[in-house]
Amino acid sequence: MLERTLAILKPDCIRKNLIGKVISHIEEAGFKIVALKMLKLTPEQAKAFYYVHREKPFYSDLVNFMTSDKVVVMVLEKENAVNDFRELIGATDPKEAKEGTIRKLYADNKQENIVHGSDSPENAKIEISFFFPESELIANQM
């Protein structure tokens, strides 16, 4: 069954002029882009988006990083999209990411790691609705 996930190209991706390269990896891996936009997260949005990490020592650094430049948010669709996208991006820390993954190829460190992907189908639904109203989630023609 087709599934959707939320991807964010993080501020380091934008600063390094890697939007096109990263989207190419995503499309070549078989994901369809259902919705896409560029925006600058407010601190309130970044805090809310990463609320699950509010107790973590890296939380305030993460909020500062995610608001340091614009981001690109995308809804991606594919069979098994959530897990397959996590596989495509690789481990949080690029040092631990497998060869060929987006983070291994392009990320500098555990914080500035180029891309976000939802970690479960339930969270994907919540994260997609965080950025996109239903009217922007038009199904792709097959």
Specify whether 116 is catalytic: yes
- Whether 37 has a binding-site annotation, put simply, is no
Contact map string, positions 97 to 136, toward Mg ion, x by CB under 5 A: ----------------------x-----------------
State the nearest-atom distance from the C-beta of 142 to ligand RTP, in Å. 28
54 is in an annotated binding site: no
**CB atoms near residue 91 (< 10 Å):** 16
Q: Which of 63, 116, 124, 131 is catalytic?
A: 116
Pick the closer one to ligand RTP by CB: 21 or 110.
Answer: 110
Q: Is 32 known as a binding-site position?
A: no
Question: Taking the complex as a whole, how short is the minimal distance between the CB of residue 46 and ligand RTP, in angstroms?
Answer: 11
Q: Where are the alpha helices (DSSP H) in the chain?
A: 11-15, 19-28, 43-49, 59-66, 81-89, 102-106, 121-131
Q: Would you tell me which residues interact with ligand RTP (CB under 6 A)?
A: 53, 58, 62, 92, 110-111, 113, 116-117, 119
